[in-house]
Amino acid sequence: MEFSIKNTGPEKMRVDCLIVGIYEDQTLTALADTVNTLSQSAVSAALKSGDCDGKLGSHMLMRDVSGIHANRVLVLGLGKQASLNAKGLRTAVRAAIKALPKGVTSIATDMPALVTNDDLQANVLALVDVSLDATYQFDAAKEKKAERHPLKHIVLMLAKADEAAAEAGLKQGLALGKGVAYAKDLGNLPPNICTPTYLGKQAEKLAKAYDFKTEVLDERDIEKLNMGSFLGVTRGSDEPPRFIVMQHLKGKKSQKPIVLVGKGITFDTGGISLKPGADMDEMKYDMCGAASVMGVFKALGELDLPLNVIGLIPTCENMPSGRATKPGDVLTSMSGLTIEVLNTDAEGRLILCDALTYAERFEPSAVIDIATLTGACVIALGAHPSGLFANNDTLAKALLEAGEQAHDRAWQMPLWEEYHSQLESNFADLANIGGRAAGSITAACFLSRFAKKFDWAHLDIAGTAWKSGKEKGGTGRPVPLLLTYLINQVA
C-alpha cells in the first residue's frame, strides 16, 4: 500500500473516496465543513436522514457529491470531539476501511490532525499501522489465492507545517507494518512448512536484505554449548533444532546491546505430557515469540535504527516419541543448574533458560524474552494485555510505557521470592513447574533463575499472539511494543 502527504483542498483531490468526520453533536470537522460548503450543504442535508449519528465508528456513504472530484464521500463518526484520542483514531480508521465499498482503490483523509494530543507523528503512525493491519491477508497455502484488498493508496491531507512530523510517522508506521505483517506470516504458516530449519533460512534472508549478521547453529553446535535443557526438548522430534543468533549492530561500539530472546517452538504437542486434541492445531503459534523477534528485526532494518540489538531464537518441535524426554527426567542446563522435568508440556522455559544463559556473553544492557509461555497467563489476563515480569523496575516501566504508546499493552505481574518455593525439587536444583497455582508467575520465576546477571524482563504473550475462532490468525504482537521501546532508547 502506498501512502502520501498532500497540502491541498478537497476540491482538487482526485481519489475514489474522501473520508470526512462528524462528531456526536453533529459538528462537522473542518474538512467536512469545506466539502459541505463546496457541495452547497449536501453533507448537512444527508445527515438529516439520521444514517450517521456521529458516534465513533458510525458512517454514511455519499456518491456524486458536487463541487469535488472524489467519486464518493464517507462521513465517519468520531464520537465526542473533546475525547477523540489515539485509541479512538484507531477505531475510526478501522471502521472506515471496513466500510469502503468494493472498487475503492484510493482514499484521502485528514484524520491524524483531528486528535487533540498534539502528537501528529504518533497519529500518522497509528493510521498507517491500523490501515495495514485492516487490509492484511494470508493465503500462502491456498491454491486459489484470495482477491487482494483493493485499497492501494491513502492520501493524508495535512498542513504544510505538519509535513516533517507526518513523514516521520509515516516512516515508522510503514516499518512497523512490515514487521507486524512478517511476524503474522511466520505464525500463520503451517508447521510442516515453518520448521526450525525454515526459521533459520528466513533469518539468513533477513540478514542479507538488511545487512546485519546472523548465525544459525545446528544440533552439533548446540551440543557443544552444553545446552542440555534445550536439547532435552528436541529429543522427541525428527526435525533438527536450530539456535539463531541475529545481530543488528548499528549503535556505537561502546553501547551495550539490548537482547531479545524469542521462544521458537514450531509445534507443541506437549511431548509425553500430551495435550488434548481439541485446538491442538493452534500450537503452530507456539513460535510467535520467535516470530516477533524476527518482525522487530525486519522493522529495525527498515528504520536502520542506530542501536545494538541482539536476537536469540532457540527453535525446535516438542513431540512424543521413544526418544522424548519423560516426566521425571533431569536435564542439565547450560548454566549448570539441573532441572527435574515434571511436565514435558512446560517446554518453553526449558529452551529459553539456555538462551538466557547464552545472552550473558554479550554483556547486555537489558534482556527481554518473549514467549507464548503459559495458559495460566490467558486465564489471568485474557487476550488484551501481555503479561510482564521483570527483575528491574526501570526496565519494566519503560516497557509498560512503550506498550501504552503503541496500543500494545502489557500488565506487570509479581515476581516475588515467595513463589520460588513452588519450584523446589527433591532430585534437582529446581523443577520445571510449580503446580497449578500462579502458573504464569512460577514460570517467570523459573526463567529469573537464569537471568541474575543482567536486567531482564519476560513477556508472556500466550493470550495476545494470536486469535482463535472465526478470525483465527497471528496478531503480530508484541512487535509494536518492542519496536516502540527500541525507538525510545534512541530518543
pLDDT score for 291? 98
Bridge-based pairing of strands 430-431 and 338-340 is parallel
Confidence tier at 88 by pLDDT (50, 70, 90): very high
Q: Which residues are catalytic?
A: 275, 349
Quick one: pLDDT band at residue 491, thresholds 50, 70, 90?
Answer: low
pLDDT class for 143, splitting at 50, 70, 90?
Answer: confident
**Average pLDDT of the segment spanning 115-140:** 93
Distance between CA atoms of residues 388 and 402, nearest Å: 12
The pLDDT > 70 percentage for the chain reads 100
- Asked if residue 312 has pLDDT above 70, the reply is yes
Work out the percent of the chain whose per-residue pLDDT is above 90: 95
Domain residue limits, the chain: 2-159, 176-490
Contact between residue 57 and residue 28 where contact means Cβ atoms under 8 Å apart: no
Q: Going by C-beta distance under 8 Å and a sequence separation of 6 or more, which residues neighbour residue 15?
A: 69, 70, 71, 106, 107, 108, 153, 155
The arrangement of secondary structure in 176-490, i.e. its CATH architecture, is: 3-Layer(aba) Sandwich (3.40)
Helices 439-448 and 348-359 pack at an angle, to 10 degrees, of 30
At residue 208, does pLDDT exceed 70?
Answer: yes
Instruction: Say what the pLDDT of residue 150 is.
Output: 93
Across the chain, how many H-helices and E-strands are there?
14, 20
- What pLDDT score was predicted for residue 144? 78
Q: Is the pLDDT of residue 263 over 90?
A: yes
Average pLDDT of span 304-321: 98
Instruction: Tell me how far apart the alpha carbons of residues 201 and 63 are, in angstroms, rounded to a whole number.
Output: 50
Give the pLDDT of residue 147.
77
Taking a C-beta distance cutoff of 8 angstroms, is the pair 365, 258 a contact?
Answer: yes
| Per-residue pLDDT tens over the stretch 318-349 | 999 999 999 999 999 999 999 999 999 999 99
Strand partners, 213: 247
* CB of 488 closer than 8 Å to CB of 305: no
Q: How does the average pLDDT of the chain come out, rounded? A: 96
Cell of 425: 525439587
What's the pLDDT tens digit per position in 376-429?
Answer: 999 999 999 999 999 999 999 999 999 999 999 999 999 999 999 999 999 999
CATH class of the domain defined by 2-159:
alpha beta
Q: What is the pLDDT of residues 213-247, one digit of tens each?
A: 999 999 999 999 999 999 999 999 999 999 999 99
Q: Residue 161: is it exposed, middle or buried by C-beta count within 10 angstroms (0-12/13-18/19+)?
A: exposed
Q: What is the DSSP letter of 427?
A: S
Q: Grid cell 493508496 — which residue? A: 153
Strand partners, 318: 268
pLDDT in tens, 45-67: 989 888 889 999 999 999 999 99
pTM of the model as a whole: 0.96
* Confidence label for 141 from pLDDT (cuts 50, 70 and 90): confident
Q: What is the pLDDT at residue 376?
A: 97
